[in-house]
Structure 1
Amino acid sequence: MAQSVAPAAVTGAPAIAPLSVKAVAPWALFFGVLLLTLLYFVGAEQGATSLLSGEAVHEWVHDGRHLLGFPCH
């Protein structure tokens, strides 16, 4: 026996409005920059490309660096 799907107006469920690119773009840009920053600190924050002096950042992300396959020694 086949079941029919009733439209949202009949069932009383709220209709889902589509998202526009203008609404999503700022969030996508924000999270993209955030992820690239995190990737930099995990993958490249040491040695010649270091933005911060000392070994503090290296020690904080050391295990994550190995987990993601970045060499550090």
Structure 2
Amino acid sequence: MAQTVAPPTANTRAVPAKLPLSAIAPWAVFFGILMMILLYFVGAEQGATSVFNGTDVHEWVHDARHLLGFPCH
């Protein structure tokens, strides 16, 4: 029983496509600003720097404040 060996072929590994920085930067800036706004509402939306009157925002993010270690009482 004869066996033949195939000759070696060229390296055909798939190379992953690279995303250019110009495609990622706008999304990174957008999500960075969104996270800063969220951090403000969770951490500082109360008292002298309050944007909204009343305690509605404070009550909505109350548990998140405690989870992230912000004092609120």
Could you tell me the TM-score, scaled by structure 2's length? 0.80
Structure 1 residues not aligned, in runs of 5+? 9-14
1:70 alignment partner in structure 2:
70
2:59 alignment partner in structure 1:
59
1:34 alignment partner in structure 2:
34
Whichever residue aligns with residue 70 of structure 2, its letter is F
1:7 alignment partner in structure 2:
13
> Larger Rg: 1 or 2?
2
The count of residues paired between Structure 1 and Structure 2 equals 63
1:20-39, Cα deviation, whole Å (9 max, x unpaired): 11000000000000000000
Give me the whole-angstrom Cα distance separating, in 2, the residues matched to 1:52 and 1:25.
31
| 2:16 pairs with 1:16 | yes
CA apart distance, 1:17: 1.2
Whichever residue aligns with residue 20 of structure 1, its letter is P
1:2-26, Cα deviation, whole Å (9 max, x unpaired): xxx8512xxxxxx421011100000
Give the RMSD, CA atoms, in angstroms. Answer: 1.4
Whichever residue aligns with residue 34 of structure 2, its letter is L
The 4+ residue runs of structure 1 with deviation greater than 6 A are none
